Structure 1
Amino acid sequence: MASNAHLSPDVRMQVTGTESVLLDLRSERYFGLNAVGTRVWQLLTANPSLQAAHQAVLQEYEVGADQLAQDMLTLVAQLAEAGLLTLDA
């Protein structure tokens, strides 16, 4: 698993309530994030450490550590595939 996620400088985020919309300025595509995805993005904005984001979300939401790890891996893989972030090898 990658240890850090580096957000693309070409992505803009607009929070709408508990959810958010990401705009990739390069592709002009929009992406929606739910409340937890929005929180993960915010955490990665402040610190690229996936482990730190995992720990913070564990403290903020009622979710098991293993389930959260799987969900976060799925999310960051989708965001990386869309070009919204890059992962350390």
Structure 2
Amino acid sequence: MAVEEETILAARIEVPEHILFQEVTGNSALLNLNTETYYGLDEIGTRMWEVLGEASSVAAAAETLAGEYDAPVETIRADLVELVADLDARGLVTLSY
């Protein structure tokens, strides 16, 4: 079941204990120890991951990133919602409210 955009924007992400994160030269990899699968992030995805981990919500992360990348907040929100929905579907994050 897909999570709605407003629900994702209001959520804070949490990283389960079975997920390992490693950054290498700006890019990063997430490893799900339960499924033994990798998920790669490019430089922008890695920055999104970092900000999401610090922000009080996905919407707050979008505000921070919109300022950093001088991009419309609506565009950043859409990109973050897509990323978080994908990470959630793969079991790489959980959403808390």
Do both share a fold (TM > 0.5)?
A: yes
Deviation at 1:77, TM superposition (A): 0.3
Please tell me the residue identity of whatever aligns with 2:60: A
In structure 1, the residue matched to 2:84 is: 76
> Does the 8 Å contact 2:27/2:46 carry over to 1?
yes
Q: Which stretch has the larger CA shift, 8-17 or 69-78? A: 8-17
**Hey, what does 2:95 align to over in structure 1?**
87
1:60 aligns with 2:96: no
Aligned to 1:10: 18
In structure 1, the residue matched to 2:43 is 35
Is 1:44 aligned with 2:55?
no
Contact 1:6–1:85 at 8 Å: present in 2 too? yes
Percent identical residues: 31
SS in structure 2 at match of 1:14: strand
RMSD: 1.6
Cα distance in 1 for partners of 2:52, 2:17 equals: 13
Which amino acid in structure 2 is aligned with residue 51 of structure 1? A
| 5+ residue gaps, structure 1 | none
CA–CA separation in structure 1 for the residues paired with 2:28 and 2:17: 17
Amino acid at match of 2:33: L
Count of aligned positions: 89
**CA displacement 1:53-76 (0-9 Å, x = unmatched):** 112111211321111111111000
- CA displacement 1:35-68 (0-9 Å, x = unmatched): 2211121123234521221121112113211111
3-state SS of the aligned residue for 1:15?
A: strand
Judged with a 3 Å threshold, the aligned counterparts in structure 2 of structure 1 residues 34 and 28 are, in CA distance, closer, same or farther, namely: same
